[in-house]
Amino acid sequence: MRLLALLPLMAVAVAHVEHLEPRSQPGVPQPTPVDLRPLEWGDLNIISTTDTHGWLAGHVKEGSYSADFGDFASFLAHMRQQANYRRKDLLVVDSGDLHDGNGLADATNVSGTVSNPIFEKINYDALAIGNHELYLPEIAVDTYKNFAPKWGKKYLTSNTFIKDAHTNKTVPIGKLYNKFRMKFGTRVMSYGFLYNFVGAANNTIIEPANVTVTLPWFQKSLKEDVDVYLIVGHVPVRWAEAVSVINAIRAVHPSKPILLFGGHLHIRDFKAYDGRAFGLSAGRFMETLGWMSVSGIHDRACRVEANCIGKNLTVSRRYLDTNVHTYKTHSLSHRKQRFDTWRGRQITKEITKARKALGVSTVLGCAPQDYFLNRYPYTDSRSLLNLVTKEILPFSIVDKTRPYPTVVFINSGCQRFDVFKGAFTVDDTYIVSPFHDDFEFATVPYKVAKNLLNGLNKAPFQKRAEVQASSTNVTLTPGYVTNDDYGLGGDDWPHSPIPYVATPNYVSTDLPTGLGDNDLVDVAWLSFFTNLMAPLFKKLDPAGNYTIQPYRVGITTYEMWPIFAKAKWANATC
Ligand SMILES: [Zn+2]
């Protein structure tokens, strides 16, 4: 028995390169395997996902991130088995944002109808709600009525509420907190926090985290005897909301271990709040998983908290690229062990079937080159925003029946991902441009039109999509290189960094040329930021009085891509 228990430990200590069997979704590329360092295990170990946004099929065009949710399920089954052999506790957590960003989630009438039941097949231990569960009232209701009940006590919404239309009462969408005991004895108190999100649907309420932590229920929960505090939060680990929850616990428990698993910024990050409180963000779009291990949690001397103030826990963190090689290397006990589990295979098959039924693999055309969202300045022909402003907006959005020349403005955040050379599918339309933002317009003199872009970019940043990651933390494919509180070294796969170029918050099509200041121009923009345009008109032309009307009704930032691809890219062969 003892020998048996040791076997898996010995095997994984030697990370190895091995033959890759084709897995994931049919036909997707696999990365060239590299040697990976074994993971460090602690008393408590956590696998974390965040901001999955429907990418349950994995990245069908990028080998590094090609594992699907079936592979993820197989990986977790083996990791749980390893935890059992090692007699260590293992938690699997998610920090929210299941909607907006992939055909599997968004190609249904109500986003998540097909993808949520697949997501629910993963046995998470704690989950948080994201802002993308709260933009639309029907998604908030679906989350409350269908998603949250599937998880019971594990779906944690300590500061997020919904007005129940039937009872007329305001209630938490999930549970306020959950205390539980793990297999190998770790006693956990868990909470779920959302950052101070403004712009949620009218039927929802987000309570500021710094208010929640003063409430009697929260303070009372801190009196329970536990070994560790776990916060799953749709909140960046460095934001004030995260810090306020850490501080509130620390104020009562001077040395109790606190672990926070955040998200929202779509970056990998790790923060040490003190020697016994840590936060981790796992990335986005099922590109990377977060891994954290913590030892010292069961230190008997720490039962008297004063004894352990300033006594550091032993902590490791790692960001794992989601491909089958990563999963096999870290989870299998020995080389010959079969990776696929029955459950994993079933999930993979279900995803393949769902993608087929939704038609997301249907090819609309052939992209002639790569277009990157943040790899080049947006004036560069390899930039996706360059393609959008130079070709897609003029072709798909500008109303050619109007008598005046037109300038179209969008916020750069409405575009979310790269386009790769080759087949451009229905899935890609959801991946690149998931939001259904409609347009409005006004006819203004050229002297106003020419100053609008500058004015918009000076306005306070109005966020609809996620803030783009900062240049110090993130690069794009072929891989991420992460610099966090423990420095470099958190990335599981070694990657070469690629420069990250920030884009202006707002971009536009070219101004018409050869016009006088008083010549008329149609300016069109997303209704999402009409609240910025109207004051700008007033500022640029105090005497002007412009009528704002809907523009190209029925055509949104989503439709502009299929319209363009079908017309301009359909005749090329990939
Ligand atoms: Zn997100």
Domains of the chain, by residue range, sit at 2-357, 362-468+503-569
Confidence category of residue 97, pLDDT binned at 50, 70, 90: very high
Separation of CA 417 and ligand 1 centre (Å)? 12
Residue 60: pLDDT band (50, 70, 90) is: very high
> 495 falls in which pLDDT band (50, 70, 90)?
confident
Inform me whether the pLDDT recorded for 470 exceeds 80: no
362-468+503-569 belongs to CATH 3.90.780.10: yes
Q: Which of 9-18, 332-341, 434-443 has the highest mean pLDDT?
A: 434-443
Reported CATH class of domain 2-357: alpha beta
Peptide bond into 478 cis (omega under 30): yes
Average pLDDT of the segment spanning 316-332: 97
The model's confidence at residue 361, banded by pLDDT at 50, 70 and 90, is very high
Per-residue pLDDT of 189-237, as tens digits, reads 999 999 999 989 999 999 999 999 999 999 999 999 999 999 999 999 9
Please name the helix (run of DSSP H) or strand (run of DSSP E) that holds residue 282, with its range, or none.
strand 277-282
Whether the pLDDT of residue 61 is over 90: the answer is: yes
Integer CA distances (angstroms), 32 to 25, 324, 325, 337, 493, in order: 17, 11, 9, 20, 11
Where does the pLDDT of residue 488 fall: very low under 50, low under 70, confident under 90, or very high at 90 and above? confident
Average model confidence (pLDDT) across the chain = 92
Read off the pLDDT of each residue in 12-22 and give the average, rounded to a whole number.
Answer: 44
Residue 21 has pLDDT above 60, yes or no: no
For 138-187, how does the pLDDT look when each residue is reduced to its tens digit (9 = 90+)? Answer: 999 999 999 999 999 999 999 999 999 999 999 999 999 999 999 999 99
Residue 350, pLDDT > 50, answer yes
Q: Higher-confidence residue: 470 or 428? A: 428
Calculate mean pLDDT across residues 530-553. 94
CA of 90 to the centre of ligand 1 (A): 25
Rg (CA), the chain: 25
Residues, beta carbon < 5 Å, ion ligand 1:
51, 97, 466
Query: Which tokens in the block code for residue 148?
Result: 């949250």
List, as one string, the DSSP characters of 363-422.
EEEEESS-BBSSSS-TTSTTBHHHHIIIIIIIIIIS-TTSSS-EEEEEEGGG--S-B-SE
Rounded to the nearest angstrom, the distance between the alpha carbon of 141 and the centre of ligand 1 is: 19
Encode pLDDT of 33-59 as tens digits: 889 999 999 999 999 999 999 999 999
Q: Are 266 and 38 in contact (CB under 8 A)?
A: no
Alpha carbon of 94 to ligand 1 centroid (Å): 12
Q: pLDDT at position 410, please? A: 97
Q: How far is the CA of 112 from the centre of ligand 1 (A)?
A: 15
User: Is it the case that residue 527 has pLDDT exceeding 70?
Assistant: yes
265: CA distance to ligand 1 center in Å?
7
- For residue 267, the CA-to-ligand 1 centroid distance in Å is 10
- 201 alpha carbon to ligand 1 midpoint, in Å? 17
State residue 6's pLDDT score: 43
Distance 465 CA to ligand 1 centre (A): 8
Ligand 1: centre distance to CA 50 (Å)? 8
- Give the model's pLDDT for residue 9: 45
pLDDT value, residue 494: 85
> What pTM was estimated for this model as a whole?
0.89
One-letter identity of residue 139: I
What does the pLDDT read at residue 462?
53
Q: What pLDDT, on a 0 to 100 scale, did the predictor assign at position 468?
A: 37
Say whether pLDDT at 472 is over 50.
no
> Per this entry, what is the length of the chain?
574
CA–centroid distance, 235 to ligand 1, in Å, is 10
Confidence at residue 409, expressed as pLDDT on a 0 to 100 scale: 98
**Residue 344 pLDDT:** 96
Q: Hunting for tokens 């798909």 — which residue is that?
A: 396
pLDDT at 301 over 70: yes
Residue 556: strand pairing partners:
438
Quick check: 3 pLDDT over 50?
Answer: no
Using DSSP bridges, classify how beta strands 187-194 and 268-274 pair: parallel, antiparallel or unpaired: unpaired
Ligand 1 center–CA 56 separation, angstroms: 14
pLDDT band of residue 479 (cuts 50, 70, 90) is: confident
Please give the distance, rounded to the nearest whole angstrom, from the Cα atom of residue 263 to the centre of ligand 1.
Answer: 7
Would the pLDDT of 130 be above 70? Answer: yes
Distance of CA 404 from the midpoint of ligand 1 (Å): 38
- Output the CA 466–ligand 1 centroid distance in Å: 6
Q: Is the dihedral of CA 171, 177, 180, 182 positive or negative?
A: positive
Where is pLDDT greater, at 14 or 28? Answer: 28
Q: What is the structure's pLDDT at 118?
A: 98
HSE (CB half, 13 Å, CA atoms) of 325? 22
CB atoms within 10 A of CB 217: 10
pLDDT in tens, 234-258: 999 999 999 999 999 999 999 999 9
With beta carbons less than 8 A apart as the criterion, state whether 135 and 98 touch.
Answer: no
